Structure 1
Amino acid sequence: MRITRQLTAAAAIGAVLFAAAGCSAGSDGGDAGKSITIWHNAADNDGVKALYSHFTDDTGIEVKLEPIPADGFESAVQTKWATGARPDILEYHPTTSALRLLNADDNMQDLSDLDFVGKSGKLYDQTGSLDGKVYAAITGFPSIFGIYYNKSVFEKAGIEVPTSIDEMISACPALKASGVDAFYESGGSQWPTQILPFLYAADSNKDSKLGDALAHNEKKIDDPKGVVVQALDKYLEVRDACFQDDYATGTFENAVTAVYSGSAAMTAIHSDAYNIFQDAAGGDEDLLSSTVGFTGLSKSSATAAFGPGPMGSYMAPKTGNSAKEAAAIKFIEYATGKGYGPLIEANKAFPVIDGYDTPDGISPLKQSFKDAYDNGATLGLTTDIAGFGDNFAADISRMLAGEITPEQLAQGTEKAVARASKAAGIDGW
């Protein structure tokens, strides 16, 4: 059960960021302020689940959980939301595109004046906010996208771990000659195929400037000389030089096994796959860290990409029930205040709010995620571009199969972004 839950959670986070409730939070007046309803991801880890019960213990406010399956999480939330039902707390992606999709300016309580915002550095300059207002409280460390690699494979081949895409391409023939697959790609799972192109663009997206330009039609996704087309062209170079034979049907579960066992040298997944690697190591974190490493990798530098995940990210919808709305704010204050220390301790997670120490017992592999983040990781290029993810992963599969070219993929994506951006009324469209 543990492995299944973690696999679905990893898929939900890795996907491009996205039965109605019987009643909305605003319709329940009998226990106004004494209970709150939380729509939450069913794959929440044990630390997050404990946060809910600790909140009730410390405040007396009951938490009524409505679990949303991790598989299809985004579409399920959107379907429930479209019925007009509202929770008191929504656990969801804190990206600008998600906030815009939920019409946060009209539908969410403004959290800008709460203490956690000023204690989170520049985090809310890039995520959790819309039109200058903060609508999401982020308690979890971001998902870091980069390269997992088997240390002994590189040592035996006498090759340095690559720090750029071109270095990786150059290393692949020697890795293959050593008897392993140089890079395991998960075409059967589809969503991991987006990671390498996004990583290629990471060092071009400092301070999210490129992503913002694409989101507001100041630059074109389908520009033949632009970063997106370059990234897709380079991805095909990596395919030809590095991928295993069954890249079209490979799965990210098998990618974890292949890299841990040493039958493959590298794969591209995100940091939230850590627990799956830990399972592969039989739960032995020391053994895992001695076997597997992690690094950023981009066009010309070891830059990683990051994206805020849905688990532990909270919004407070407007429900029309002032007592429940106040209770929801109390939950967010608790999750980012009194309850935050126990949360990061339970999860052995890096704090994103100032004033909290990193828990003891962080493994070297986990530390490498933090190192990649601190080493200039940039927000995922497409995180806040409306409509970008509509068909992108499926289209990459078609490109890998030779059905469409990188230019055609980019042109189709540009059209999808234009439609979604115009519908959302985004500046520049």
Structure 2
Amino acid sequence: MKTKATAVALTCVAALALSACSDDTAGQTGAGGTGAAGDPVDPTASLDGVELTFWTAQNTAHAADQVIEAFEEATGATVSTEAIPDLYEQNVPTRLASGDRPDLMFWQPSISTLPFVQPARNLLPLDDEPWVSDLGSTEQSLGVIDGTRYAAIVTSPAMLGVYYNKDVFAEAGVTEADFPRSYDELLDLGATIRDETDASAFYEVGGDQWPLQWQVQVQLTDQPDAWWDGLNRNEESWTDPAVVDAITKYDEELLGAGLAQDGYRTGTFTGQAEALWDGSSAMALNVTSFQSQLQAEHGTAEIDERIGWFPIANSEARGLYSPDQTNGVVAFATGDEERQNAARQFLAFWLGPDYADFIDDRKIPSVQPDVPSPEGMPQTAVDQVEALPDAHGVFQARAIVAPELHVALADMIYGEKSPQEVAEFVENQFDDIARAQGAEGF
């Protein structure tokens, strides 16, 4: 029996398949282009009377406000945003299937999620846009499917690493020289915290579920490129012993060893930030959304005084990057050449003359090496920027389907699945969705 998570993903695939069959305009201007792709773009050229639509998720409804306001003032265009209800990744394909489409949209620029909107049929290719060569090396690797760029990268991908409470570390006698250089050393550090302080070593988020995946993801960083390539061709499996061992280690050597807080089964994302801040937990393994949560509640000086960050992988002190839907913006092939060119101009403006103002307004890292990140970011954010160029990709960036590992891990922490059964759940979901997408080998 398929899980709800599998059903959601399959709904996305089915909706876009329906769109391709029922929408007579689909594909008329995709991949083959408007005839204007690659032509010079003047970011501030007049666009009086041109109206563009921009779809966002509910949590990114205001993320582009600064650039939209500046673009409208510079060009005379009008850009209207519409927040699509959650679940964003399910409801967008459903809207597209009905024949509705925006000019621009936030969308995760990963090989596992970008295909949900059938880019070759529905999106404008962006390979020759003036901003592409300005992106950093990691950002240039995102937004590309089958050798064609379909997404502009406007924000830095989330970084996965360990946030820690400096006071708890000091109480346990932990200095920077003691920072772990492998996952096993991270668990050893957790045991030290458990034994030397009243704090839990980690705060785990069983209630909100999605952060459960990160402890396992970190352990998969030694899997070679050939393994991921084989997985995407159905020649390798999520039931590989390395995956099962990673799940087992999380279950037995972290949760089973008392390294998480007592209420880890019902822990929440906001509770994790509160526990790290007040020192009832020493560490939180999470992505940059945790950084945003801290910055929403505390100033830079406060964060710098109390919270630190370090990267970690399975066998080295190296971070992981995780694309999300705030990182990428795609432009749709609507069949209206004026609007398509205006959408390209909007992206050129965003990643051109406005980019420094945009990142300064949001106090976020720059995706362009030649544009400095804003002053005043917490040191935790600065450390993540420095770790990005050498970071591993999480499986959302490496696998053609992003299975919902966290759903099965949530079952595991309640004793409803064994580590082997978690791996089998992930493998079955991965195969189902890859097959529905028509992936080669499935």
State the TM-score, normalized to the length of structure 2. 0.83
Paired residue for 1:406, among 403, 410, 419? 419
Q: Paired residue for 1:382?
A: 396
Where do residues 11-410 of structure 1 align in structure 2 (5 Å cutoff)?
34-44=50-60, 48-69=64-85, 71-123=86-138, 126-159=141-174, 160-177=178-195, 178-204=197-223, 210-223=227-240, 225-226=241-242, 228-236=243-251, 237-241=253-257, 242-280=259-297, 283-374=298-389, 376-389=390-403, 391-410=404-423
Q: Indicate the RMSD between aligned Cα atoms, in angstroms.
A: 2.4
Provide the C-alpha distance between the structure 2 equivalents of 1:79 and 1:412, rounded to a whole number of angstroms. 25
Distance change in 2, residues 1:423/1:32 (3 Å):
farther
Contact 1:193 1:396 in 2 (8 A): yes
Contact 2:48 2:76 in 1 (8 A): no
Q: Which amino acid in structure 2 is aligned with residue 188 of structure 1?
A: G
Secondary structure at the counterpart of residue 397 of structure 2: coil
Secondary structure at the counterpart of residue 312 of structure 2: coil
Provide the C-alpha distance between the structure 2 equivalents of 1:230 and 1:382, rounded to a whole number of angstroms. 20
Give the drift of 1:192. 0.6
Deviations 1:273-314 (A, max 9, x none): 22321344xx32111112111112221112221122212521
Alignment identity in percent?
28
Distance change in 2, residues 1:121/1:161 (3 Å):
closer
Contact 2:132 2:140 in 1 (8 A): no
Give the drift of 1:363. 2.2
Contact 1:117 1:124 in 2 (8 A): no
Deviations 1:62-84 (A, max 9, x none): 10111224x42222223222222
Provide the C-alpha distance between the structure 2 equivalents of 1:44 and 1:221, rounded to a whole number of angstroms. 32
Contact 2:157 2:324 in 1 (8 A): yes
Number of equivalent positions: 395
Provide the C-alpha distance between the structure 2 equivalents of 1:33 and 1:132, rounded to a whole number of angstroms. 35
Contact 1:47 1:344 in 2 (8 A): no
Contact 1:33 1:323 in 2 (8 A): no
Contact 1:202 1:304 in 2 (8 A): no
Provide the C-alpha distance between the structure 2 equivalents of 1:124 and 1:149, rounded to a whole number of angstroms. 27
Q: Which amino acid in structure 2 is aligned with residue 222 of structure 1?
A: T
Q: Paired residue for 1:10?
A: none
Distance change in 2, residues 1:331/1:131 (3 Å):
same
Between stretches 51-60 and 152-161, larger displacement belongs to 152-161
Secondary structure at the counterpart of residue 202 of structure 1: coil
Contact 2:129 2:348 in 1 (8 A): yes
Q: Which amino acid in structure 2 is aligned with residue 428 of structure 1?
A: G
Contact 1:32 1:324 in 2 (8 A): no
Secondary structure at the counterpart of residue 355 of structure 1: coil
Deviations 1:172-229 (A, max 9, x none): 3331231111111010010010111111223446xx5543332222321112x23x22
Contact 1:388 1:416 in 2 (8 A): no
Give the drift of 1:100. 1.4
Between stretches 162-171 and 127-136, larger displacement belongs to 162-171
Q: Which amino acid in structure 2 is aligned with residue 168 of structure 1?
A: L
Contact 2:300 2:376 in 1 (8 A): no
State the TM-score, normalized to the length of structure 1. 0.86
